[in-house]
Structure 1
């Protein structure tokens, strides 16, 4: 029984809704009701005088100003105030060529410096406002303005005394970078109230430190952090919460209204972090049987991200698995779902953006640290409770050849070759069977690149171990070619992704309805030039059309 439609379905946004409120506003903007503040207060909050002084000192002419979503409403005021402050300098020739640009949308996470957007404006440097991960940049210099936020010291001291009634408690005082300047005075106030084992912290741009981007203000260099509790002012990001929970005895959080990570009226419960770590370990176990791994680039600004990608490729290849590098900008479930052949993702990003929430995602998304665990065998994989979310500390399994280019180590290359043991049986065939610990099912395809080597024709072209590419018999005109085994080749290189496209995708692209039989290539049709130009005047081929 068919039903009739009274009106055609709406496939796009109705015209009358074009200029109404955004139905899916940014969470940061929707949750932040910014009160009106006088100019003199904003002048101090955004440190206009210091910013202008550093811009003059650096000699920047084109300056990019990067704001998080919650601070974008203040961006026009900041531009006006900063321009006025820069014009006050009468000791040098008036700089009419100075230009300020607002980076209204970041390509990746707001905590990182968006060098890509800044380079679109040909900026000499970036002024980054608000919370920052302090990861070193790769191309442009940056001025960090954390903004000055107010705190009620007495309220913090009262909360601290409730959390730690013993005056001899060993506690490390830490705050979000937006509030870090208050740690010293609060530490002094608590000591006046009788606390004797407090350690204050200071900002130090070192994400790999025992406490990321902090140093301990203590004369004792041999401090054992496992004996200390942490009192954190402002809600930390989840990645920092997981990192600190594995390095200190316990965590206490003092929530502040200005925290960009406060999504609810109550702060997160640090006692829930063991459960979060167990979920991360469950993802590692799920990832262990992945055969095709996507390297998900979540930054183009953090220093050394390219060398990290090369290192991850080498580690994945040494495990007999296939990797593909993908750049999609800001992550969401819909983008990743387009790559159905990928069994799991590893994120290359800063130590905060490397942690991706799994809600709505079809395949697991893990960090490089977790990938190292997933690639280990079940007999050697040990979960110690340690956790890290960034690309820093990734073990380099690459060596440098004579051309200063990185290539897999010889021992990693040998792992890809199935060795012959007594009786003519290949070493890999003698290995114990591999099972998915979640489902209990046998996994026979977790190392597709080793299968590709065994599937290569014995009397055919020689296949290199490192790249799995044919030295002869292939040309660049070969789009996808079936191997003798079960894995397709692209230009002679084994490609599980191409095999998935050939065998499992229901739609394989234009022109595939006829198929390719017996290695015969389908004849191409003439490509016609389409419409080009702008809306006020299109060009179709040699004809000129007017809109």
Structure 2
């Protein structure tokens, strides 16, 4: 028997990748009879028919993409409008991909599948979560069990793909005053596309039409529901000692976000895949200790990279601007990066950056940066590292839109001169040394529009980049103007790198042993 020749990742024509099948989980299997209900085609048809726009973008996650053509053709036949099927997303499939939709000048986006419940900033969007099945009777029995075994408050929340079972749980929990079923914000379940929320301006911005003192009066942006579900006043302190039942996979990012924020609460899960419930025993304290360590790293960092991880979530730009102002007031250099979906290779290109801050939706904010060249933190952790009066509260806020009032408060405090003594060199718990960035601190000023910005806001970044470039051994290609001899252009190689046309054919060879 002849020995099979080993395959190399660098010596194949790519045919295997082109013909490789995509594995689809059983949970996403939808029969033709269930298409109408699962994808809520009647709701989509009515929303599209009533919308004045003619170009509609349909966004599917990977596990539902194979239904995209069928859904597109069905909606097109019902409405007669122009549809575009979006495939690969710019960042994450849980966010509405406004960038891809704007490439085709779409008037509205219909987002299918799991959602992080982040409102859009430019295009209206209709959300269709998909009606995934579960054992409803087993769920109701588990809710009853939790309600009767303890009198403490119980909050039942759903993965959005199982949100359609909410009414049944509400009916079963009516006789228990301490059981509360958590629904999503009405904007995500509306029959009409949810309107976009324009970006708010930076700290202290006010209406352009105001005159006199009103023009400089700070206006606090309205806070959205936390995780698209809770009133902002429902904080981790208010939920201390409460119990949460999460209906969804135990590995859900939404569940982890809840556990890290409501860190003083007890969590239970009902897994639709097994039809059973259990108490979660995840080591949240260990996770919080890791995040506290990253906060200390951020305090020591001299150069911070603000990585924009979303272009669709409302107010991402306002939060990024506020963080940039805060960094410059604290004497830290800053870079703003837009690299699409992040990975270790992309961020390793920026050797001058000490730590990265990812501004992304709640489900993509927490990054295990063990494989990254530099740590990656959340905006909340960066704010704790920069604000002198803020103290670690033993929880993690992954919804960056909740930070707007907090950052505005800290910027106003720095502008008014509060906490100047606390902005002296701090003692690093990591390096056991004093670290001082005071020579790079920039003065904060309030503009005519009421914004708080750093003085020389437009020139500092270029100075940072130029200064670091001078310390590098390799500074890029040298032009060498007038030093290179002029020569005629010659014919270059043709073909592909695996084997150029002028190279001998090595695809066939005898199998004999070489001497």
TMscore range, shorter length: 0.7 to 0.9
Deviation string 1:297-331 (CA, Å, 9 cap, x unpaired) is: 11111222222222111101110111111100111
1:67 aligns with 2:56: no
1:116 aligns with 2:99: yes
Partner of 2:70: 77
TM-score (norm 2): 0.72
Partner of 2:209: none
How far 1:128 sits from its partner (Å)? 0.2
When residues 466 and 171 of structure 1 are mapped into structure 2, their CA distance, relative to the original with a 3 A threshold, is same
1:507 aligns with 2:474: yes
Q: Check the 8 A contact 1:318/1:412 in 2, yes or no.
A: no
In structure 1, which of residues 376, 380, 383 is the aligned counterpart of residue 387 of structure 2? 376
How far 1:60 sits from its partner (Å)? 2.8
How far 1:10 sits from its partner (Å)? 6.6
**CA distance in structure 2 between the aligned counterparts of 1:155 and 1:19, rounded to whole angstroms:** 42
How far 1:442 sits from its partner (Å)? 4.8
Larger RCO (alpha carbons 8 Å, 6+ apart): 2
When residues 72 and 18 of structure 1 are mapped into structure 2, their CA distance, relative to the original with a 3 A threshold, is same
1:177 aligns with 2:184: no
When residues 33 and 492 of structure 1 are mapped into structure 2, their CA distance, relative to the original with a 3 A threshold, is closer
**CA distance in structure 1 between the aligned counterparts of 2:132 and 2:407, rounded to whole angstroms:** 45
When residues 240 and 33 of structure 1 are mapped into structure 2, their CA distance, relative to the original with a 3 A threshold, is closer
Q: Specify the SS of the correspondent of 1:282.
A: helix
**Structure 1 gap segments, 5+ residues each:** 1-6, 87-94, 260-264, 400-407, 420-426, 454-463, 470-490, 515-521, 536-547
1:291 aligns with 2:291: no
Q: Specify the SS of the correspondent of 1:225.
A: coil
When residues 524 and 239 of structure 1 are mapped into structure 2, their CA distance, relative to the original with a 3 A threshold, is farther
Paired residue total: 435
How far 1:20 sits from its partner (Å)? 4.8
Partner of 1:389: 398
Partner of 2:360: 349
1:2-17 equivalences under 5 Å are: 12=10, 14-15=12-13, 17=15
How far 1:148 sits from its partner (Å)? 1.3
In structure 1, which of residues 53, 56, 76 is the aligned counterpart of residue 46 of structure 2? 53
Q: Check the 8 A contact 1:297/1:348 in 2, yes or no.
A: yes
When residues 396 and 317 of structure 1 are mapped into structure 2, their CA distance, relative to the original with a 3 A threshold, is farther
Partner of 2:108: 125
1:366-445 equivalences under 5 Å are: 366-377=377-388, 380-395=389-404, 412=415, 434-443=426-435
Root-mean-square deviation (CA, aligned residues, Å) is: 4.3
Q: Specify the SS of the correspondent of 1:143.
A: strand
How far 1:294 sits from its partner (Å)? 0.8
1:443-482 equivalences under 5 Å are: 443=435, 446-447=437-438, 449-450=440-441, 466-467=455-456
TM-score (norm 1): 0.68
When residues 125 and 525 of structure 1 are mapped into structure 2, their CA distance, relative to the original with a 3 A threshold, is farther
When residues 52 and 320 of structure 1 are mapped into structure 2, their CA distance, relative to the original with a 3 A threshold, is same
Q: Check the 8 A contact 1:239/1:355 in 2, yes or no.
A: no
How far 1:203 sits from its partner (Å)? 1.8
Partner of 2:288: 277
When residues 527 and 284 of structure 1 are mapped into structure 2, their CA distance, relative to the original with a 3 A threshold, is farther
1:331-346 equivalences under 5 Å are: 331-346=342-357
When residues 53 and 316 of structure 1 are mapped into structure 2, their CA distance, relative to the original with a 3 A threshold, is same
**CA distance in structure 2 between the aligned counterparts of 1:432 and 1:49, rounded to whole angstroms:** 62
Q: Check the 8 A contact 1:171/1:229 in 2, yes or no.
A: yes
When residues 35 and 129 of structure 1 are mapped into structure 2, their CA distance, relative to the original with a 3 A threshold, is closer
**CA distance in structure 1 between the aligned counterparts of 2:486 and 2:332, rounded to whole angstroms:** 37
Deviation string 1:402-457 (CA, Å, 9 cap, x unpaired) is: xxxxxx879549899xx9xxxxxxx99xx87544312324545x45624x99xxxx
**CA distance in structure 2 between the aligned counterparts of 1:274 and 1:123, rounded to whole angstroms:** 45
- Greater helix share, 1 or 2? 2
Q: Check the 8 A contact 1:315/1:397 in 2, yes or no.
A: no
Q: Check the 8 A contact 1:436/1:443 in 2, yes or no.
A: yes
Q: Check the 8 A contact 2:58/2:85 in 1, yes or no.
A: yes
Q: Check the 8 A contact 1:205/1:213 in 2, yes or no.
A: no
Deviation string 1:6-33 (CA, Å, 9 cap, x unpaired) is: x9x97845215454555xx9xxx64724
1:301 aligns with 2:312: yes
Q: Specify the SS of the correspondent of 1:359.
A: helix
In structure 1, which of residues 229, 238, 252 is the aligned counterpart of residue 253 of structure 2? 238
**CA distance in structure 1 between the aligned counterparts of 2:116 and 2:91, rounded to whole angstroms:** 13
Partner of 1:140: 123
Deviation string 1:225-261 (CA, Å, 9 cap, x unpaired) is: 33421111003743553345533621111122499xx
When residues 33 and 502 of structure 1 are mapped into structure 2, their CA distance, relative to the original with a 3 A threshold, is farther
Partner of 1:198: 179
**CA distance in structure 2 between the aligned counterparts of 1:466 and 1:66, rounded to whole angstroms:** 42
**CA distance in structure 1 between the aligned counterparts of 2:474 and 2:278, rounded to whole angstroms:** 47
Q: Specify the SS of the correspondent of 1:293.
A: strand
Q: Specify the SS of the correspondent of 1:178.
A: helix
